[in-house]
Amino acid sequence: MSEIKIYRIIGNYNKNHKKYLFRKEVRALKEEDALEKVLSQITSIGIYRRQINIQEVKEITLDETQDYLIRELSE
């Protein structure tokens, strides 16, 4: 049986000639699933996938997460 892991994805995108940095923490089974979830969240605000630059995808522990909801769901 697979274990759900926590991933932190850091990247940036351009919108209206401004550069925005983002850091998302998500729960997923695989790194590809976590990346897809973050991309779908960001594209829901009207950004194209080609405008998004992913800088880092990293698996983190429960202690490293800063998102309260993820921490509560993982305990």
Model pLDDT for residues 8-19, shown as the tens digit of each residue: 999 999 988 999
Residue 60 covered by a domain: yes
Instruction: Enter the pTM of the model.
Output: 0.86
- For tokens 């932190």, the residue is 8
Residue 59 covered by a domain: yes
- For tokens 């590809």, the residue is 32
Least Cα distance to 22 among 49, 69, 54 occurs for 54
pLDDT of residue 45: 86
pLDDT of residue 2: 77
Tell me the CA distances in angstroms from 74 to 2, 4, 30, 65, one per residue in order: 14, 8, 16, 10
CA-angle at 68, arms to 64 and 72, nearest 5°: 95
Q: How many domains does the chain have?
A: 1
Amino acid at 26: V
pLDDT of residue 22: 94
Residue 61's CATH number: 3.10.20.10
